[in-house]
Amino acid sequence: MRLRIFLSGVVQGVGFRAYTQRVGESYGLSGWVRNLPDGRVEVLVEGDEEVLFHFIKDLWKGPRSSRVDRMEIVREATNEPLRGFTVRY
């Protein structure tokens, strides 16, 4: 399953991308994370549905100095498989 996730709140400048990468890798997921110009963070992630559920729960927690106010999740078709979990700049 592939999901595109948009997170709003205090999610930039608090280590959220590095946290997301660490959590994604710990679950064996593939994807990427990046900051958006409007202050949100975007995540594209692919993996088993049950594992993704746990990943999403961890994103709600975020790193210590973050705060997630809103999360928008969109299910997407899997075109090319993703490899690894990276931070995009």
- Give residue 71's identity as a one-letter amino acid code: M
Amino acid type, 43: V
Question: What are the tokens at 88?
Answer: 């995009």
34 is catalytic: no
Catalytic residue among 2, 4, 17, 83: 17
The span from the CA of 55 to the CA of 30, in Å, is: 12
Which residue in 4, 34, 35, 70 is the catalytic one?
35
The question of whether 17 is a catalytic residue gets the answer yes
Residue numbers annotated as active site: 17, 35
